[in-house]
């Protein structure tokens, strides 16, 4: 059983168990209410800390993307860099995208020619290239997230 299921299970089994133990240890109704209040405060603090961690993670991801774009802008606008240095990332992006589309074309229109030559390897390479193309598009055309959007928790 995972910690999340233990704490937030069907009826919050850990919280309920602790509450039952504390009911047996406390004598007055005021003590029971005070302990219940402390448990609720601890639960809310845990949830608040988890949300704060999500916000920090979002800020770090967005800052990382922004610094990558700033670096690319600085390289492209630098007068000391040669044409290749200024455009290497664009060339690599175009080559990767072209290779991906070429492999898609081969797989769609010439599937029989792949049987002899390791179709599994070609499919694996296509998967890697597809992931890279996704990152290239995210970089050049902007990620789908803006600073106000929520990043899904993993």
Longest dimension (CA), the chain: 81
Give the number of domains in the chain: 2
Query: Which of 77, 111, 138 marks a domain boundary?
Result: 77
**The whole model's pTM is what?**
0.46
On whether both 73 and 87 belong to a single domain, the answer is no
Burial of 100: CB neighbours in 10 Å, binned 0-12, 13-18, 19+: buried
On whether both 68 and 108 belong to a single domain, the answer is no
On whether both 136 and 151 belong to a single domain, the answer is yes
Query: Which of 21, 48, 77 marks a domain boundary?
Result: 77
State the distance between the two ends of the chain, measured CA to CA, in whole angstroms: 18
Q: Which domain holds residue 128?
A: 83-154
Q: pLDDT (tens digit, 9 = 90+) per residue, 22-36? A: 666 656 788 778 888
On whether both 111 and 153 belong to a single domain, the answer is yes
Q: pLDDT (tens digit, 9 = 90+) per residue, 132-152? A: 888 888 877 766 555 555 555
């Amino acid at each position: 059983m995972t910690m999340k299921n233990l704490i937030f299970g069907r009826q919050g089994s850990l919280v309920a168990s602790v509450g039952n133990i504390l009911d047996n240890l406390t004598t007055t109704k005021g003590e029971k209410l005070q302990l219940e209040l402390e448990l609720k405060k601890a639960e809310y603090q845990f949830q608040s800390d988890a949300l704060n961690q999500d916000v920090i993670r979002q800020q770090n991801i967005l800052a990382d993307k922004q610094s990558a774009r700033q670096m690319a802008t600085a390289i492209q606008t630098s007068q000391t860099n040669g044409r290749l240095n200024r455009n290497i990332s664009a060339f690599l992006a175009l080559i990767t995208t072209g290779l991906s589309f070429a492999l898609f074309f081969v797989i769609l229109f010439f599937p029989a020619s792949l049987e002899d030559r390791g179709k599994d390897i070609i499919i694996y390479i296509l998967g890697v290239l597809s992931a890279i193309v996704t990152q290239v598009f995210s970089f050049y055309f902007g990620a789908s997230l803006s600073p106000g959007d929520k990043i899904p928790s993993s």
